[in-house]
Amino acid sequence: MQYSQQLAGRVLVLATAMFAANFSVWTLYAVLGVELREQFQLSATEFGVLLAAPIFTGALLRFPAGLLVERFSAKKLILVQMLLLLPVLVLLPTISTFSGHLLAGLWLGISGVSFVLGIRYITPWFERRQQGTAMGIFGAGNVGAAITLALAPAIESWAGREWIGPAYGIGLLVMVVLFALAAPEETRYMQRRRASNLAQQLRPLRQLRVWRYGLYYYFVFGSFLALLLWLPHYYLSVYEVSLTTAMALTLVFVALSSSVRALGGWFADRYGARTVNWSVFWTCLVCLFFLSYPPTSMTIHGVERDVELSIEVSIELFTLLLLVIGIAQGFGRASVYKALHDNFPGHMGSVGGTVATIGAFGGFTLPVMFGMAQDLVGIHSAAFMLLYGVLALCMVVMYLAIQRERYQQRLQFARQHNFLHDDAGPQEAISAE
């Protein structure tokens, strides 16, 4: 028992480190994109497309990766996935066109499937009561984005921008060697519990709740991913801070949101995933209401004189509200996957891959929509207006789902306690009255 616990601990540590390394590659354009926008004079929409390129491929590949990891070794698939990233990281300094960077971004998106592979790798090693905490700790690998926000500018200032890609390639190669040598392989018992065929893997996808969880994850993960890509540009454009300050403030948001995910998993284990999700949504709704309000000036015509009134979210208040949202999103990401394991413990590859795909599509579609909203409306805070609408939809869906579930429970209770179904039979039951 002690030996299996030690193996489980090693699995969790190595898988989290692997995920952090891959996530740092997946979000590399959060740093590179700011300079590429100036270099190619991109519009807000074009900038959003560039940021979303790695996320797009990662989203597309997550579902097939979830199916593959149900049939083949998760450890071997993780190693193959990381090795596929090395060529593009080495070739990154040779790219000089906008289209070339788009293609490179699509290739870097392969790193996005590491979450699905890692989730399927760690879950068989832990008991059900530990799943929320374990997946929360693993999900804290999102801190890889904070590593990129700190490391990439440091590499650029020390060795030059052309060394960012190769340096990341060397780091990933070290991770490949470490994972290959130290990560345990699944036991025969774990292998026997795999879904035996494709039809069995896909059967849970017929349930509406899978897609409902996907919508929740679209917000708690998709918007987190979109914000970490968009925030450096937002800070630069709205508050006119230096690039170093913009990166530092974004880093705080990412690091805090990622680090509390483990705590969110513990809360989901203790208080239930639904309770955590509902609290997360209400917290984010209040914060997004204030973040959506654009800078406004108005003149109030008084009795004796006009009163000029200006309303604007200061950078201090903006950052505070953003950090609250980041903490809530970290809790939400953990609770969604806790709920998935509670309902589909034997299908974390297919079901987890589906939900992860929908969430990653949030990271792809939202930056593009942020750019389009800003170009069309002409207001920087249009991005937060958009997020407010997405969250409102999630809350309506969740409310309707809860009401439907309660109705089904009442209906089932009524059927189980109907006197007409008593063993005595209907006639005896009537006479007994």
Q: H/E/C letters for each residue in 75-134? A: HHHHHHHHHHHHHHHHHHHHCCCHHHHHHHHHHHHHHHHHHHHHHHHHHHHCCHHHHHHH
The answer to whether 175 touches 82, Cβ cutoff 8 Å, is yes
Running DSSP on this structure, what letter comes out for residue 223?
I
Q: What is the pLDDT of residues 146-182, one digit of tens each?
A: 888 888 888 888 888 889 989 999 999 999 999 999 9
Instruction: Give dist(CA 273, CA 407) in Å, integer.
Output: 20
d(CA 144, CA 363): 16
For residue 424, pLDDT beyond 60: no
* DSSP assignment letter at 348: T
CATH classification of 2-432, choosing from 1.20.1250.20, 1.10.645.10, 2.10.260.10, 3.40.50.1100? Answer: 1.20.1250.20
Band of pLDDT at residue 430, cut at 50, 70 and 90: very low
Question: What is the mean predicted confidence (pLDDT) over 108-123?
Answer: 89
Tokens of 210: 């899978």
Q: Which residues contact 115 (CB under 8 A, 6 or more apart)?
A: 19, 22, 23, 62, 139, 141, 356
Confidence bin at 189 (pLDDT 50/70/90): low
How many CB atoms are located within 10 Å of the residue 124 CB? 19
Q: What pTM was computed for the model?
A: 0.74
Domain ranges of the chain: 2-432
Q: What pLDDT, on a 0 to 100 scale, did the predictor assign at position 284?
A: 93
pLDDT category, 429, cuts 50, 70, 90? Answer: very low
Q: How many Cβ atoms from other residues are within 10 Å of residue 39's Cβ?
A: 12
Helices (H), 204-349: 208-217, 224-238, 243-259, 261-271, 273-291, 315-343
Q: For residue range 313-340, what is the model confidence (pLDDT) as tens digits? A: 889 999 999 999 999 998 988 888 888 8
Neighbours of 218 (CB within 10 A): 23
Average pLDDT, the chain: 83
What pLDDT shows up at residue 180? 92
